[in-house]
Amino acid sequence: MSGNSPGTVASVRTVIRGVGKTCIAAGLLILLFVAYQLWGTGIAEARSQRELKRQFNALPGVATPPTTTPTGVAATRATSPTTLPPLPPAPTGSAVAIIRIPKIGVDDAVVEGVGVEDLKKGPGHYPNTPMPGQVGNAAIAGHRTTYGAPFYRLNELSSGDDIFVTTRDGTYDYKVSSSNSVSPSDVAVLNPTLDAQLTLTTCTPRFTASKRLVVVSTLISAADPRPSTVRASAPAVIPGDTPTPAAAPAAAGVAVGSLSGQGASTAPAVTWAVICAVVWALAWVAGRRWPRWAAYALATPVFLISLWFFFENFARFVPANL
């Protein structure tokens, strides 16, 4: 009767131990990445918000209190021609407004654009829609669970709740009129309107990107008399959806955006992954020559910093979640 040799048993145990350690390390990395997504991204968003608010407060005319104007839904329509020229489109990534929603504690600067990098900074204005306060369907997107989660409680809004948006031309008061969920491909919610309204979009349910929560509100103060200026149309995708080459062209005035990171370069993520692996390998080698605690104590801060940058770049390739 033959049995396993001691060498074979030792080899099997070594393999099992190695697989176990690999699984533990992978699980720890996944937990760290989840923590980064839920809390770490808020650090960068808070820094961006401070800069955006400083930018916005420096815009010409912002410090001047707006003139009192009549209120009422009728005032949101363009009732007479205006000779005021339209403002040029704001540069992508710049501060264009402050949105306040008292019921859910939102008080954030709004950035121009709904691309990956734009929405990392805060709520983003769809470039192909009018500015808040203008006649038409102004639209703003925001994250639901990451990057500060400005729209985390958007589902709590109901008919009659106030939304205030301050632009360089004044503060505009909107009243919520409806809230519903739609498919990510249902870009009709961004179509132009005759009255001045504000459409807020985010992902729903929380921690998924399967649908979009859409909150529509109507301007009850006087609209900005300037003609609206929007950017050229592009393939219609509500942020959070993964665009494909087959995406249909948008109707005039419909904006686009994607948080999928599709088309982004893989080089930064690969580079930081290699750096993390090298740091950990050097720590392992050093731990075999010197006291292990000292080697890992020196390597851990460097590894965690490298891991942070890896997570920042790797996040662009994870299915988007507003």
- Separation of alpha carbons 237 and 126, rounded Å: 11
Provide the 10 A C-beta neighbour count for residue 16.
Answer: 10
Tell me if residue 143 is catalytic.
yes
- Separation of alpha carbons 289 and 291, rounded Å: 7
- Bridge-partner residues for 81, per DSSP? none
Please report, for residues 2, 214, 322, the alpha-carbon distance to residue 156 in angstroms, rounded to integers and kept in the order given: 70, 12, 16
Could you tell me which residues come within 8 angstroms of residue 296 by beta carbon, excluding any fewer than 6 positions away?
A: 283, 287
300: closest CA among 280, 273, 272?
280
Given 143, 144, 226, 316, the catalytic residue: 143
Given 125, 144, 203, 316, the catalytic residue: 203
Tell me if residue 206 is catalytic.
no
Given 125, 144, 168, 212, the catalytic residue: 212
Cβ–Cβ under 8 Å, residues 142 and 191: no
Look up residue 40 and give its DSSP letter: I
Biggest alpha carbon–alpha carbon distance for the chain: 102
Identify the residue whose tokens are 């769809």: 126
Catalytic residue ranges: 143, 203, 212
